Amino acid sequence: MSDTQTPTEASHALPLLAAKLEAIGPYRLREIIGEGGMGSVYRAEQTEPVWREVAIKVTRIDLGSAGSLARFEAERQILATLNHPNIAQVYEAGATPDGFPYMVMEYIAGQGLRQYCDERRFGLRERIGLFIDACRAVQYAHQRGVIHRDIKPSNILVDDRSGAPVPKLIDFGIAKLVAAAPGEHTVAGAVLGTPVYMSPEQVNAAADVDTRTDVYSLGVVLYQLLAGVLPRAEASGDARQWRDEVSTLAKRPSRKLADADNAADIAAARGMSLEALRHGLSSELDWIVLRAMAPERERRYGSAADLAADLQRYLDGHPVEARPVTRGYVLRKFIGRHRLETAFATLLLLAVGASLWVVVGAWHDERRAHEQAELSATQAKAINDFLLEMLSAPDPRVSGREVKVIDVLESAASKARDAFPDQPLVRAALLETLGRSYAGLAEQETAVGLIREALALRREATGADSELSLETENELNEAVVPLQPIADTTAQMKDLYQRAVPALGERHPVSITALNNYGTLLVYLAGETEDEAKAAAMREEALDAQRRNLVLREQVYGPDDERTTHARNNLAGTLRSLERYAEAEPLYAENLERQLRLFGEDNHYTLTTMDNLALTREQLGRVGEAMPMYQRSLDGLRRVDGIDHPATLQTQVTFGQALLAHGDRDRGIAMLTDVIEKNASRGEEHFLTRRARRSLADAGVDEPVPAEPAAGERSDTAAESGRAQESAN
């Protein structure tokens, strides 16, 4: 039986599509790489407007059903927004001439997670590290209201083309939206997914399946990844017996392994002896796996992030939440992490008889750390439950209109201020999360108000220079940039950096981000400074900051991390502000190559790098290379961010200026006029409107131009894009 079929599917499935399809639009189908009851997956080549390899899944949804059509459209809209380094990118969707819906996705030339690890004899720690990345992808989808419902090793491909293994979650073909699409309902007895990885509620076709069904499936994947066996045999033809079995607690992985005929081979595939593997599983890992796979939803981890966090605690040698806490257990974990110190304390105990207090004191410290971890987990679950409730609440059939993200956020924000009255830190985390969401929608005033409230709560609870407070202060400084003079924000960011380094250390993420933001803001400030000597000094200081920022990020995060690519772009933007274009160009070019390889072209950050590189090449006189790159960047940002997103309009301004500068007057004027119209809701003083109007005035078009310093207008555009790429993580 194919692993994409279930016992409830008719044995007379529709004919395979291989013989019928050779091409879909600009896609030439080369071979089938997956087949199941729900459809076929092809490796294909896109021939225009660019060449690339893609994967196309052609499904068999009943297009005669209004409910199915609504659900497919809702899925298409949501999946198009999933932009995560561990999720295969969805490029577009449509229907074949015969009416079969299809999805065009990033093609991953990799193996399934289990096969990849087995062939390379990865040990338990390496497997868990990759699995944690997969959990982060699932959590990202959940936060955007998408439940995968078909998580299994073959749907977690490992792409190692960059030199390091990167798990990629694929196949959202039967994903479910937390907030149901209009007309959607669960058909009684309809079971979609792969039986052996399905939760009890999914097996029983429950109408209220939530994100914890994916947590269960992740637990099964982890069980097999670590122990080499499945918790239960493949489903038999007796559906009732199968449902009864999946509703009982599974046997511990270590015990299931002991019963396997090929146990020695399984251990060898992990580079371990059988006894070492059983011992490695029989403590925390047994507990973690079984908690993820608890038949009752309320006993599972509350989210994929909680599962990942407990696995990280295991890797770090801390007590895990899944295992009951005893004094002996906590003490053993402390000793495991501090073997040298503990051995020395033991020698002193034997010699002096008084050093037992060292270990006892350590135990108390460890216990407090564990209690803090429990508090963090409780906070995360409370916030997750609150947001899921908000996301599930809107019913478009009641209001008769499309429910938008902003509607859900407004409802959530109004309730968040009164939520968790006895837990101010939980309320602060919730307010900050909502503020960040508003900032992502360019609703800056609302974002700033929410983050300010979160900062006040955290300062009162933990102090002004605590990690939580400094982290939130950085979020606030980033959100407030468009709303106040750049000199004020620059001074605030410098003050934050100078307080973060002694409090948290230079390599802490908050310190690194503050350094980056301070350097970037200095470039803006230099562009608004009429004193050329002062402006030059600011740019040199910014250059030093961005060079240090890049070194720190490469050391802390690695050269291919998204945060490091942001820093590389910001350094290049600073070099451009100093008119050192020949030094900036190779940095942008290197970064674009990395981002295309790591994140794909349909990625906001990849496309803004492309815009920066186009501008730099234009300034180097390489106009023939720059113009197609401008167009490619603009087309991509319109597709990824939307036609009126600030990043899209910023690229449109830069492209329009270039068209005017190089002879395509009518097209340049049309582009800049269009920016003013699309940006009207942000007000006449918005920097994009001001730049578009000034460029039109310089071209002799009769447009009123608000007063604005002209210094550095073209040269700081790259820094604007660079700042937009910064992450507070």
Q: Kindly tell me if the per-residue pLDDT of 304 is higher than 70.
A: yes
* Burial annotation 114-143 (CB, 10 A radius, 16+ → b, else e): bebbbeeebbbeebbebbbbbbbbbbbbbb
Catalytic residue from among 3, 150, 214, 716: 150
Q: What is the predicted pLDDT for the residue at 138?
A: 94
Q: Kindly tell me if the per-residue pLDDT of 103 is higher than 60.
A: yes
Q: What is the mean pLDDT of residues 643-648?
A: 87
Mapping DSSP to helix (H, G, I), strand (E, B) and coil, where does residue 476 land? Answer: helix
Cα–Cα distance between 646 and 642 in angstroms, integer?
A: 9
Q: What is the mean pLDDT of residues 298-320?
A: 89
pLDDT-derived band at 356, boundaries 50, 70, 90: very low
Q: What is the mean pLDDT of residues 658-673?
A: 92
Q: What is the predicted pLDDT for the residue at 288?
A: 93
Q: Kindly tell me if the per-residue pLDDT of 381 is higher than 80.
A: no
Better-scored residue on pLDDT, 378 or 189 = 378
Tens-place pLDDT, residues 360-377 = 343 344 444 444 444 455
Q: Kindly tell me if the per-residue pLDDT of 153 is higher than 80.
A: yes
The dihedrals phi and psi of 713, each to the nearest 5 degrees, come to -65, -45
Q: What is the mean pLDDT of residues 256-271?
A: 92
Cβ atoms within 10 Å, residue 646: 18
What is the overall mean pLDDT for the chain? Answer: 76
Tens-place pLDDT, residues 81-93 = 788 889 988 888 7
DSSP 401: S
Q: What is the mean pLDDT of residues 161-170?
A: 87
Q: Kindly tell me if the per-residue pLDDT of 224 is higher than 90.
A: yes
Looking at 122-131, 314-323, 709-718, which range is the least confident one? 709-718
Tens-place pLDDT, residues 272-284 = 989 889 888 987 8
Tens-place pLDDT, residues 126-144 = 999 999 999 999 998 888 8
Cα–Cα distance between 200 and 132 in angstroms, integer?
A: 23
Q: What is the predicted pLDDT for the residue at 9?
A: 32
Question: Is 150 noted as a catalytic residue in this protein?
Answer: yes
Q: What is the mean pLDDT of residues 183-196?
A: 56
* Burial annotation 475-486 (CB, 10 A radius, 16+ → b, else e): bbbbbbbbeeeb
Q: Which two tokens stand for residue 302?
A: 């509350």
Of 232-246, 544-558, 697-711, the range with the highest mean pLDDT is 544-558
| Percent of the chain residues past pLDDT 70, beyond the cut | 71
Rounded to two decimals, the pTM is: 0.47
Q: What is the predicted pLDDT for the residue at 383?
A: 52
Better-scored residue on pLDDT, 364 or 711 = 364
DSSP 192: -
Q: What is the predicted pLDDT for the residue at 651?
A: 93
Cα–Cα distance between 725 and 617 in angstroms, integer?
A: 20
pLDDT-derived band at 4, boundaries 50, 70, 90: very low
Looking at 249-253, 285-289, 332-336, which range is the least confident one? 332-336
Q: What is the predicted pLDDT for the residue at 279?
A: 86
To the nearest 10°, report the CA torsion of 645, 651, 652, 653. 110
Q: What is the predicted pLDDT for the residue at 528?
A: 80
Q: What is the predicted pLDDT for the residue at 442?
A: 67
Looking at 173-187, 288-302, 449-463, which range is the least confident one? 173-187
Q: What is the mean pLDDT of residues 446-474?
A: 86
Looking at 30-39, 173-182, 606-615, which range is the least confident one? 173-182
CB-based contact 501:510 (threshold 8 Å): no
CB-based contact 320:284 (threshold 8 Å): yes
CB-based contact 542:526 (threshold 8 Å): yes
CB-based contact 192:150 (threshold 8 Å): yes
Cα–Cα distance between 564 and 133 in angstroms, integer?
A: 18
pLDDT-derived band at 447, boundaries 50, 70, 90: confident
Q: What is the predicted pLDDT for the residue at 66?
A: 52
Q: Is 404 left (phi over 0), alpha (psi -120 to 50) or beta?
A: beta
